[in-house]
A and B are shown apart, each in its own frame.
Chain A
Amino acid sequence: MREIIEIDAGQISPSIESVLKCQGIPENAIPDTRILRLAEEAISLFEEHGRPKAILREITKKDFENIYRGEGKNAEETPIESIYNSSDFLALFAVTVGEDISTLISRLFQENDFAQGSMLDSVASESAEKSAQTVEAIYENYLRQRDSFPDSYGILRFSPGYCGWHLSAQKKLFDFLNPEEIGITLRESCLMEPLKSISGVIIVGMKEIFKFEDNYWFCAECEDHSCRERIEHVSNS
């Protein structure tokens, strides 16, 4: 399957709590009303100006192996390698919230509206993440409709630049997926434009294959650690 997906911006706009967290405000802190207003306004701006789109394409294990290898710069051992080798289905994806948001963020900064610009930046980052979650759910539903996703299965996505998968793999991923069709381009440095875009692979298989300890050398340098939460979600789903 290969599909271009239009996503409703309202469907992926984030919660105020997640935006505040992204701004470095701890969960137990009580921000004053002007900060809450900034967050609400940023969400509203996103719903007005966000143009989220996605592209999803299934890929065989053999074809993915070549993309995963990229330019041969991956970490020697990665969790992704063992997971995809034991998987049953793979799909590449790319999502973007569109260029208009980046333009608006820049404009807010130029107008000295730094707090609103920064808040909108956080909203756009969170929304891009929610777009990727949406695509993952769409792929899961697609497999369920074909009776190819039993309860014993799990689903998890990985992106180049994380978990030991070198960013330079983006080049081969783009050659195969062609996200230019939804307006995402790749620079020589492997930077995606628009900036608020995410690409990667969605892996489907038995829940057990997703279990790994995040104690690789690159885990120590990772500030995200969202894998812990996501692996736990797969195990409990």
Chain B
Amino acid sequence: MEILKQISESLEKGDFNRVGELTQQALDQGLDPKVILDDGLIAGMSIVGQKFKVHEIFLPDVLLAAKAMYAGMDLLKPLMIKENIPSIGKVVMGTVQGDLHDIGKNLVSIMLKGAGLDVIDLGNDVPPAKFVDTAISENADVIGISTLLTTTMPVMGEVVEMAKERGVYGKVKIIVGGAPLNADYAEQIGADAYCFDGVNAVDCVKRFLGAG
């Protein structure tokens, strides 16, 4: 459908005003919000993610596209909640206790939302129990933990241990990220994956959800 293609193309260009206008037009034409989301916004964001992966575009381009995505999402989200349309999955995100660095975590959250996932952002300085308790109460599929400090890396392991204690380890997947981390460390603490950037996190979460 032409309008969905236009939404996708405008999103790729980061034209948030146009994406907002076109999303409203699509709704006015009677299109299903889920179709607009999947075939317009997420389709556009997916192309953006692919271009970023092959270095055709760069981080600021992705973030401009994300702003455009949100302009459309702001119109669709209330309708989707009203009509009980489920998202493809839910992720609890946060920066570990003792750390206030949240740029990396924010960028990953933006990319996950852009892929159509529900993200519960707990912010920074988050105690281990809060990650696990929120994942249980919100019936989340994935916990995403971030840190930039070597001194707070062990707190990630505490989240994993707490997930084991509460009996959700394996059921709720745990992904970790941050400058001092690597895949070996993720494996060592029992996390399900190490994600090196937002696009990689999207691929990873989709794989866990069987949607990749």
Query: Are the chains A and B members of one assembly?
Result: yes
Residues of B within 8 A of A117 (CB): 106
B132: Cβ under 8 A from any A Cβ:
no
Task: Tell me which of A1-9, A148-156, A189-197 binds B.
Answer: A189-197
Residues of A within 8 A of B59 (CB): 23-25, 118
Give A59 Cβ to nearest chain B Cβ, in Å.
Answer: 23
- Please tell me the number of chain A residues within 8 Å of chain B, measured between CB atoms: 33
- Please tell me the number of chain B residues within 8 Å of chain A, measured between CB atoms: 29
Task: Tell me which of B83-91, B95-103, B165-173 binds A.
Answer: B95-103
A121 to B101, CA, bound (A): 11
Report the nearest A residue to B97, measured CB to CB.
A189
Residues of B within 8 A of A105 (CB): 103
Residues of B within 8 A of A38 (CB): 60
- Known contacts A109-B106, A113-B67; decide if A119 and B151 are in contact (CB<8 Å): no
Using a CB–CB cutoff of 8 Å, the interface residues on chain A facing chain B are 23-26, 29, 31, 34-35, 38, 105-106, 109, 112-115, 117-119, 121, 161, 166-168, 187-191, 193, 195, 221, 223
A-B contact pairs, 20 of them (CB 8 A): A23-B59, A26-B55, A29-B58, A34-B14, A34-B64, A106-B102, A114-B64, A117-B106, A118-B103, A118-B107, A119-B60, A161-B150, A166-B150, A167-B149, A187-B100, A189-B99, A189-B151, A190-B149, A191-B98, A221-B180
Using a CB–CB cutoff of 8 Å, the interface residues on chain B facing chain A are 14, 55, 58-61, 63-64, 66-67, 70-71, 97-103, 106-107, 110, 149-152, 179-180, 182
